[in-house]
Every structure is written in structure tokens, then in C-alpha cells.
Amino acid sequence: MKDWAAPFVAAALFAFLSPGVILQIPGKNQPIGFMNMKTSVAAIFVHAVLYALFLILFLVVLHIHLYV
């Protein structure tokens, strides 16, 4: 059996943490922007850091596994 947790968690986090899709931290005119579909270099950096931290949390700290 293969462990499918890593690809599923990585793909889901990538989709939800893309800047401007659901939220943007930091926003252009306010600290947090919701569904504005715009991005900036600062937002890309913040979302990349959050993506890495959540990926480490789910895969290393919590040991999430999904066997199919």
C-alpha cells in the first residue's frame, strides 16, 4: 500500500494558500484581503512560508497517513 497523505496534503494546501484565491496576507489596502484575485511579492513570500509551516505540521509533526 502507498501512503497518499503527502501528495493530497500538499495539493490541498497549495490550492487553499495560493495568494488571492481565498485570502491574501498582507493585502494591498488592508492587512488581510479576501478573494481579491490580486497578489504582491510580499503576499507570495508570506504564503510560501505558511505553506512550508503547514506542510511540516501535517507531515512531520502530526504524522498524517492515508493508505489507499
pLDDT at 67 exceeding the cut of 80: yes
Tens of pLDDT, residues 7-63:
999 999 999 998 888 888 887 777 787 777 778 888 889 999 999 999 999 999 999
> What pLDDT, on a 0 to 100 scale, did the predictor assign at position 35?
79
Rounded (10°) CA dihedral 27, 43, 55, 68: 80
CA gap 49, 13 in Å, rounded:
12
Helix 41-56 and helix 5-16: axis angle, to 10°? 150
Amino acid of residue 7:
P
Domain map of the chain by residue range?
5-61
Please state the φ and ψ torsions of residue 54, each to the nearest 5 degrees: -65, -35
Coil vs helix vs strand at 35: coil
Tens of pLDDT, residues 28-42:
777 787 777 778 888
> What pLDDT, on a 0 to 100 scale, did the predictor assign at position 33?
78
